[in-house]
Structure 1
Amino acid sequence: MGFVERVKKGNTSSGVAALGNTFLAGIKGAAAFFSGSGSMFATTMHSLADAVNQGFVFLGSILAQAPPSERFPTGFGRVINIFCMVAVVVVTVMAYETIKEGWHLFQQPSESGNIWLNIGVLAASLLVDGFVLVKAMKEITKETKEDRDGWLLVQAFKSAPKASPATRLVFYEDLVATSGAIFALIGVLLAQIFGMLRADGIFTMLIGVLMLFVAFRVGYDNMVGLIGVSAPAEVEKKISGQLLEEEQVVDIYKMRVLQEGRTYHVEGTVELTKGLSLAEADDVKFELTDKLLRSPEVSDVVLGIIEDNNKKSWE
């Protein structure tokens, strides 16, 4: 697979989000500079952090598709987890700066101007972040092949743990970004229309806290991914069902399914009916391996075979 093909297969949500947040960071930064609004500063920092993060993640999703090599036989699926951890560091630093600025504005509130500029920019932010959020939610349901009945947001929350690390990051970040734009808008209105100047600092700190939530959530998910996490129970059940469908397979002696980025690595030993020749047993093994590898979510299969031991091992 060439580099251009890898770019085309990169995580679409993170690429679109990186472009959208770069645009938003620019217009929000200009609005914050001319108005002096702390809430606008906070949401600018958030969009800037999101743009950097999602750019990193998009690059990581491209590199993660590199084919296995002799030195790295299981492939590069976990590269995306490393890039997501870099993104977590960026979000944490930006969250600290945002909370610090909010505390300063709370202690020393000051008036800001250009209310209509702020409202216009935040309205644009809601449209762009909302579009990216909806795209990320649709990407989650597509990756996890979940039933799309019901509210999209509810389905995305339920399915997010099974989505790819990149899509999860975009979903959580833009969920907070959309909420942050709403909080910033409330802060601007309270400070500039109702004269509640401390509201600017309060909502600035609240946006910073939301950014910390994203850093913790994404950091935890990717730390687990780097260590090596078992596949969801339904994935393991599906793979075991495919193995047990084979007529000569009596039982599964043991099996382990690990998540490697967006795909799964399968290791196991199956019990075959007694009396098979070595050649026949090898044919069954190769047929099972090919069967599992035809599934797009399985990247690597290592199967062993033994004769039936008359003991039930797999429930």
Structure 2
Amino acid sequence: MKDIFVLLKKGSMASLTAAIVNFILAGLKGAAFLLTANVAMFAEMMHSLGDAINQVFVFIGSSLSKKAPTERFPFGFGRLVNLVCLFAIVIVGILSYETLMEGIHHIIEPLPVNPDTTMLLINIGVLAVAAVLESFVLYKAGKELLQQAEQPHDGIKPLTLSFKHMNRAKPATKLVFLEDTVATLGAVLAIIAILIGRFTGFAQSEGIASVLIGLMMFYIVYKVFMENAAGVLGESDPHMEQRISQIVLRHDDIKDIQKLFVLKEGDALHVEVVAEVSPDLTVDYTNELRDKIEALILKQSHVADVNMEFEVDDGNRSWPKTQDQLDTKSRQKERF
């Protein structure tokens, strides 16, 4: 039991915070829906509930992924967070479908607009609270994301630069950031739909908002599924490969890199390097050189272990990869 608590302390705090906030918001929105029968509020309730469930799974998965390697699993449990996210996203997919169908139903058969000002204030008040809390979680997740990407994170940068550096963040942090972006937009969208319906009489506005929120939730389902499917299969990190190649080739005794790949295992990175050196170097010197380079690589963000080997220089240049190759690899990864 003690070991479990130790592991839980290592889990993603962004996921835990987001889960607590979303459970609270789901309860508030559910109560408001029961009082007002507002369709946009129903969509928001489902969205918050889906986010909360998803983030609980992500927190647990990110905690268990920190478990130390065993004899049976020598590479550790890093990919466990990806498997847990894949399971959780099925639940979010079901909730997304229900939200979408509910919205379509109320577009076809809209309910009469409730003229009660009290009901209007309840809906707007709950959604305003939701928007503020979700914005707070979004800011915290954006700040954590930029820290992991080794970027400046002061001022409003967590809300402006995070999208640009999202691929450098840990899976759990990235998921929280995406979900809270959609959650914040969804709350604002629901407020707009309620006001349109109340003051113009266009009753379908709430159904349209529900459909849009459902579609945004489906985008999260797609994004999270593809990201974590790649993680389960084992994806490389081209940007870190480029950085590590610069560290290796910085030494004059390294003539070329024959092979270099960086494999993601959850939050951790595993590095494999085969470098070419001059044949006149002694064994003792190459061992010292290897230890020195491995120590520098291990200082890089998220790198868990390094395996470096040497081969005699064959006279053929294999590295560096051209920038076009690296850009193509990055684009293929983003499309996947």
Q: Normalized against structure 2, the TM-score is what? A: 0.88
The verdict on how the C-alpha distance between 1:6 and 1:245 changes in structure 2, with shifts beyond 3 A counting, is: farther
CA distance 1:148–1:250, change in 2 (3 Å): same
1:99-121, Cα deviation, whole Å (9 max, x unpaired): 11111111221134511111110
Letter in 2 for 1:124: V
Read off the aligned partner of 2:169 and give its amino acid letter. Answer: A
| Alignment partner, residue 228 of structure 2 | 222
Is 1:183–1:203's contact at 8 Å kept on the other side of the alignment? yes
Local SS of the residue matching 2:71: coil
Which residue does the alignment assign to 2:84? 83
1:41 and 1:220 map into 2 onto residues whose CA distance is 27
More deviation in 22-31 or 299-308? 299-308
**Residue identity opposite 1:178 in structure 2:** T
Q: Structure 2: state its 5+ residue gaps.
A: 321-336
String of CA shifts for 1:192-227, please: whole Å, max 9, x gaps: 333211111111111111111111111111112222
**Is residue 147–residue 153 contact of structure 2 (8 Å, CA) maintained in 1?**
no
Could you say if the C-alpha distance between residues 272 and 3 of structure 1 is closer, same or farther in structure 2, counting changes exceeding 3 Å?
A: farther
Post-superposition shift, 1:302?
A: 1.8
Compute the displacement of 1:289 (Å): 2.7
Q: What's the CA shift string for 1:130-159, capped at 9, x where partnerless?
A: 101111111110000024487433311111
Residue matched to 1:209:
215
- Counterpart position of 2:298: 293
The letter of the residue matching 2:289 is V
Bigger mean CA offset, 207-216 vs 289-298: 289-298
**2:334 aligned partner:** none
Letter in structure 2 aligned against 1:277: T
Counterpart check, 1:277 vs 2:278 = no
* Structure 1, 243-252 or 262-271: larger mean CA deviation: 243-252
Q: Which residue of the partner structure matches residue 93 of structure 2? A: 92
Aligned to 1:303: 308
- The Cα of 1:20 is off from its aligned counterpart by 0.2
The amino acid that maps onto 2:207 is G
Q: Secondary structure at the match of 1:300?
A: strand
- Report what 1:20 is aligned to: 21
1:51-73 deviations in Å (ceiling 9; x for gaps): 00001001111011111222212
Q: Distance in 2 between matches of 1:154 and 1:72?
A: 40
How many Å apart are 1:3 and its aligned residue? 3.9
Match of 2:165, SS state, is helix
Deviations along 1:34-92, one digit per CA (max 9) or x if unpaired, are 10000000000000000000010011110111112222122211111112212221121
Farther-moved stretch of structure 1 (264-273 vs 110-119): 110-119
1-structure distance, mates of 2:211, 2:188: 14
Aligned letter for 2:223? R
- Are 2:107 and 1:106 equivalent residues in the alignment? yes
* Per-residue deviation, 1:255: 0.9
1:233-252 equivalences under 5 Å are 233=239, 235-252=240-257
Q: 174-183 vs 300-309, which deviates more?
A: 300-309
Deviations 1:216-261 (A, max 9, x none): 111111112222222132x212211222234532221111112222
Q: Once structures 1 and 2 are overlaid, which stretch shifts more, 53-62 or 279-288?
A: 279-288
* Equivalences, count: 314
For each residue in 1:277-312, what CA deviation from the matched residue of structure 2 results, as whole angstroms up to 9, or x when unmatched?
334333333333333224341112222211222222
CA distance in 1, matches of 2:299, 2:145: 22
- RMSD between aligned alpha carbons? 1.9
Q: 1:58 to 1:200 in 2, by over 3 A?
A: same
Gaps of 5+ in 1: none
Name the CA shift for 1:138/1:190 in 2 (closer, same or farther; >3 Å).
same
Distance 2:69 2:266 in 1: 13
Aligned equivalents of 1:256, 1:200: Cα separation in 2: 50
Question: C-alpha distance in 2, partners of 1:87/1:178?
Answer: 21
1:116 counterpart (116, 121, 124): 121
Please point out which of 175, 181, 189 is paired with 1:175: 181
Distance 2:38 2:141 in 1: 30
Q: Which residue of 2 aligns with 1:39?
A: 40
Partners of 1:310 and 1:66 in 2: CA distance? 43
2:172 counterpart residue number: 166
3-state DSSP of counterpart to 2:66: coil
> Which whole-Å CA distance do the structure 1 matches of 2:152 and 2:22 have between them?
30
Any conservation in 1 of the 2:59–2:172 contact (CA below 8 Å)? yes
Identical positions, percent = 39
Partner of 1:133: 138
CA contact (8 A) 2:43 2:99 kept: yes
Whether the 8 Å contact between 1:293 and 1:300 is mirrored in structure 2 is yes
